[in-house]
């Protein structure tokens, strides 16, 4: 038995046509997905054809005349409606995701503007290094004025210890120097995510040997009127890193 003409036509389109206009209208769908939807419509038409053929045979036996094409048209219309509904539903989802992305981007831009609008304060870059972890270690800090000038550098050799101890010690050295300089407002920048998140309370201090250093750092932080501690990438912390490694090299 030959395939119904409409279903055969749809399958030919699904297999051979590029469908550029459909892809342009329904963004987010690729060629394979559209082909599958068209094939699904062809399946529905074939099912309707088979049902209509059965109904026609029964009607002929009963002496009735049935217009078979009406069933085909109805199946085609239902398939088109289902396809359109699927496209519209997906468009709603795409629009929602687009709106969510726009809201996130707007929030990020607002946060960037807030940072840019904030008055530039003195910046304290801190770091620590241990060669071997534990191994020969050093701590370093660099203080830069709002105008971008280096106003203080400090480094200290720590002997054999861990990288985390060196990171905390670099912070403590920098805070003490800033306090001695009479600074009341400070932006602290460090590339140790552990240190920053422990100081913010996001991480717990589980290592016993770090608790005294953590407590000392927190006590120093409370001595400033305005202070913010932020995590930065390692490549933005080269000055403090240089001081901590110089301390190891020269045993400062």
Q: Is 34 exposed, middle or buried (0-12, 13-18, 19+ CB in 10 A)?
A: buried
Please give the average per-residue pLDDT across 24-47, as a whole number: 80
- Residues 229 and 200 sit within 8 Å (Cβ to Cβ): yes
Residue that terminates a domain, selected from 58, 88, 117: 117
pLDDT higher than threshold 50 for residue 125: yes
pTM above 0.75, yes or no: no
Please give the average per-residue pLDDT across 153-160, as a whole number: 97
Residue that terminates a domain, selected from 117, 142, 167: 117
Structure tokens at 81: 């409606």
Considering the domain architecture, whether residues 36 and 96 belong to the same structural domain is answered as yes
For residue 131, the SS3 value is coil
Return d(Cα 184, Cα 227) in angstroms, integer. 8
Q: Which of 231, 232, 161 is nearest to 196 (CA)?
A: 231
Pairing assessment for the beta strands 185-190 and 135-144 based on DSSP bridges: unpaired
Considering the domain architecture, whether residues 89 and 129 belong to the same structural domain is answered as no
Considering the domain architecture, whether residues 238 and 136 belong to the same structural domain is answered as yes
Name which residue leads in pLDDT, 100 or 58.
Answer: 100
Over the chain, what is the mean pLDDT? 84
Beta bridge mates, 138: 129, 157
Return d(Cα 166, Cα 128) in angstroms, integer. 4
CATH number at residue 176: 3.30.420.10
Residue that terminates a domain, selected from 61, 93, 117: 117
Report CA 216 to chain centroid distance, whole Å: 35
pLDDT at 240: 98
- Residues 244 and 127 sit within 8 Å (Cβ to Cβ): yes
Domain residues for 243? 123-250
Structure tokens at 40: 């699904």
Q: How confident is the model at residue 229 (pLDDT cuts 50, 70, 90)?
A: very high
Considering the domain architecture, whether residues 85 and 107 belong to the same structural domain is answered as yes
Considering the domain architecture, whether residues 151 and 228 belong to the same structural domain is answered as yes
Considering the domain architecture, whether residues 10 and 108 belong to the same structural domain is answered as yes
Q: Give the lowest-confidence range in 54-68, 104-118, 194-208.
A: 54-68
In tens, the pLDDT along 7-34 reads: 787 888 878 888 888 778 777 778 888 7
Q: Give the lowest-confidence range in 63-72, 168-177, 215-224.
A: 63-72
- Residues 229 and 191 sit within 8 Å (Cβ to Cβ): no
In tens, the pLDDT along 77-123 reads: 666 666 666 656 566 776 787 888 888 888 888 877 766 666 789 99
Please give the average per-residue pLDDT across 213-225, as a whole number: 97
Considering the domain architecture, whether residues 108 and 163 belong to the same structural domain is answered as no
Considering the domain architecture, whether residues 225 and 141 belong to the same structural domain is answered as yes
Q: How many domains does the chain have?
A: 2
Structure tokens at 106: 């707007």
């Amino acid at each position: 038995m030959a395939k119904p003409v409409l279903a055969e036509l749809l399958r030919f389109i699904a297999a051979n046509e590029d469908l550029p206009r459909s892809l342009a209208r329904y963004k987010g769908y690729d060629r394979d997905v559209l082909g599958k939807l068209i094939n699904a419509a062809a399946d529905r038409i074939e099912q309707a054809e088979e049902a209509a053929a059965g109904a026609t045979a029964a009607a002929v036996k009963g002496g009735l005349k049935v217009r078979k094409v009406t069933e085909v048209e109805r199946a085609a219309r239902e398939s088109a409606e289902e396809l359109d509904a699927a496209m519209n539903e997906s468009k709603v989802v795409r629009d929602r995701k687009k709106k969510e992305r726009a809201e996130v981007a707007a929030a990020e831009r607002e946060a960037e503007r807030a940072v840019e609008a904030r008055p530039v304060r003195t910046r304290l870059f801190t770091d620590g290094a241990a060669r071997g972890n534990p191994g020969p270690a050093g701590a370093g800090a660099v203080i830069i004025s709002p105008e971008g000038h280096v106003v203080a550098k400090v480094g200290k050799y720590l002997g054999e210890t861990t990288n985390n101890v060196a990171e905390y010690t670099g912070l403590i050295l920098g805070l003490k120097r800033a306090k001695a300089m009479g600074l009341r407002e400070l932006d602290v920048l460090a590339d140790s995510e552990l240190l920053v998140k422990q100081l913010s309370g996001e991480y717990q201090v589980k290592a016993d040997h770090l608790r005294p250093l953590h407590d000392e750092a927190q006590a120093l932080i409370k001595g400033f009127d305005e202070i913010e501690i932020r995590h930065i990438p390692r490549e933005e912390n080269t000055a403090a890193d240089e001081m901590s490694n110089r301390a190891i090299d020269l045993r400062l």
